[in-house]
Structure 1
């Protein structure tokens, strides 16, 4: 019997029997949308989601703070002019706190008030517009670690974490406070019309962690725990994102209360689905697995379908099948996206 999107998602992440594993298309960037809609013969990505029978519907937070108007770019930390859009921002530019060493100086930054910029009515409208049989997922990000890197400039931030941990902590704690307030506004505005949230930070590179896990446990995960607990207090499922090789942190994510670990960057060290099954099958739910670095870009439709079949054999449940990066970029041929979802849906 065919399951609803929501029932399939919850069965998948709880390792229960499913008619097929749950799926998520991800977030096509604007440059990729034209090719995708042309390939599928439709006018919008929403129509594509219906055609491919996708299970998760992402809801972007309406945050009106120029120039980016995006919750992921809520702080003007950079001391130099640079493009300030979610897919073009940099964490490495010299940041506001680069020259500060006293934790009390945290108040010298002009911290924005999310209540001024987060549109409550539009939040509710967006959530109510989604079929309640789909998984309605708020794209919160709440990337307090990445924003702390931007606040100093990444190299300086990591040195501050080691050499002046009180200073680093004062900044990341203030960033966390911002997200707790912003998220509360969104959760209150959409109460009863939201099922899950996507939050996270990138902790991994292609070959390993960017930061010693003990430093993350000391200075970052307290804020992560607050953000997770807040979402769960509203009854929401927490999908935690981190690109790269984060295998050493999976047990931490589980302990913090993460429900689904995203995105399983397939070519990153130790993140292949077979290794995750060996060590964590039944202990944690995952989302991702279809390589977006090489396979979806350079492979053909048959090789994509073969990978999906392999993932379904490894994880008949427990894995939400999705590209191994949340963004669908313009270098991915739309035919490979179609092949991926035909294989997920058992369509010849």
Structure 2
């Protein structure tokens, strides 16, 4: 197998040094791609197209985990050509392209929903996850840097937009639609409880927490700083505080022109930003 990146530190050591603003042997590496890109990268590297083979060849430092859901099904797909996300109820359809295709969001089940439907939209119970199995996976990852979470954790706009529609969620934030705000807070409360259980079970093996909130287009912010501070920041803060109480740094995924929020990120206790898009407005790394 081709090994492109070598170093004198383990992945865990490298990542933790970087979070602590200490010099490492190289920059930590993360990698995610759609299936079409994955096949091309694997072919260029001369390795199988499975995730582990490509990650090993690239020297990826991270291993991500979330506890498996073990509760009863919360949602059913609305049709034979649709998939439904088991935890959020977001619906996707297959869109073919020359590289194969991808699952794209559609239907938006809460787009026309009344307050009662929104108020009763299912949210996973934090007790319905396999925390013991999570611990076993943590132990198996050895020298890799292990994180809990993903860009959809605590995410207000995208996650809700996938079931409500993006135009609707922006209006909901502006108008403070009561039923939608209550759904957001129910989801955040459940996620926070799930993370607390996971961290309590696996505190000796987890290195950082990954959350997300896309805040920019390629040209400008998606929302104002005032709206960020009123509606977004308070809903992210409890998870950051929880991570800090366990001594775990937090990385936030944030696409587009988003440097306008970085000072707030620092105040909130966020230690790293993923990703930096240098072609977006005001995102030159220098």
Same fold (TM over 0.5): yes
What's the counterpart of residue 8 of structure 1?
14
The answer to whether the 8 Å contact 1:148/1:175 transfers is no
SS, match of residue 88 in structure 1: strand
Bigger helix fraction: 1
Q: Which runs of no fewer than 5 residues in structure 2 stay unpaired?
A: 1-6, 78-82, 95-101
Cα deviation, residue 271, structure 1? 0.8
For the residues of structure 2 that align with 1:162 and 1:261, how far apart are their CA atoms? 26
Among 108, 113, 120, the alignment partner of 2:131 is: 120
With the length of structure 1 as denominator, give the TM-score of the two structures.
0.65
Greater relative contact order structure (CA < 8 Å, 6+ sep): 1
Distance apart, 1:197 and its partner CA: 1.8
The aligned residue for residue 140 of structure 2 is 129
For the pair 1:207 / 2:219, whether they are aligned, the reply is yes
**Structure 1 residues 239-271: Cα deviation after superposition (integer angstroms, max 9, x where no partner):** 111111101101111111101111001211111
Q: State the 1:136 CA deviation.
A: 1.1
Q: 2:87 aligns with which of 64, 74, 79?
A: 74
* CA drift at 1:205: 0.8
Partner of 1:255 in structure 2? 267
Is 1:88 the equivalent of 2:93?
no
How far apart are 1:95 and its partner, in Å?
4.0
| Other-structure match for 2:255 | 243
How many equivalent residue pairs? 263
Alignment map for 1:205-284 (pairs within 5 Å) = 205-274=217-286
Structure 1 residues 87-125: Cα deviation after superposition (integer angstroms, max 9, x where no partner): 6353x7444274435xx8754223332432x33233223
- CA change 1:94–1:29 in 2 (3 A) is closer
- 1:53 maps to 59
Aligned partner of 1:27 in structure 2 is 32
| In 2: Cα distance, 1:258 partner to 1:107 partner | 31
2:167 maps to what in 1? 155
CA contact (8 A) 1:208 1:245 kept: yes
Task: Determine whether 1:37 maps to 2:48.
Answer: no
Distance in 1 between residues matched to 2:104 and 2:88, nearest whole Å: 11
Matching residue within 147, 166, 188 for 1:176: 188
Residues 68 and 134, structure 2, Cα contact 8 Å, conserved in 1? yes
Aligned to 1:74, what secondary structure does the other structure show?
A: coil
TM-score (norm 2): 0.78
- Runs of at least 4 residues off by over 6 Å: none
Change beyond 3 A, Cα 1:50–1:152: closer
Alignment counterpart, residue 18 of structure 1, candidates 2, 5, 24: 24
